[in-house]
Amino acid sequence: MAGAFRAHPGVRVPVLNGAHPAPAAAQALCAGEAGARLLLLGGETLNGPRHIWWNFVASSRELIEAAKADWAARDHGRFALPPGDGAEFIPLP
């Protein structure tokens, strides 16, 4: 994301990872003078706690352990590499 937005009625909202306007029933946003890009994600509240380890987020510790094992085994079926980016591997910490 880049740029800045003005939330109705003209409150400027800087764009940062995780930044958002104050909660409201409805919100209108206008691009700033230099233009802007916006990615808006939303949805229902997740149905339970999440576990985080390194680059992995899962609903259970068992799923984290499985992801760690697959990453260490370089399971490209599960963790496909971008085209042309097969030379570098980042090991688990």
Taking the C-alpha atoms of residue 20 and residue 39, their distance in angstroms, rounded to an integer, is 11
8-state DSSP, 88: -
Q: What is the pLDDT of residues 22-72, one digit of tens each?
A: 555 455 667 777 777 777 666 777 788 899 999 999 999 999 999 999 999
Lowest mean pLDDT among 8-12, 17-21, 46-50, 77-81: 17-21
- Write down the pTM of the prediction: 0.53
Q: What is the pLDDT of residue 56?
A: 94
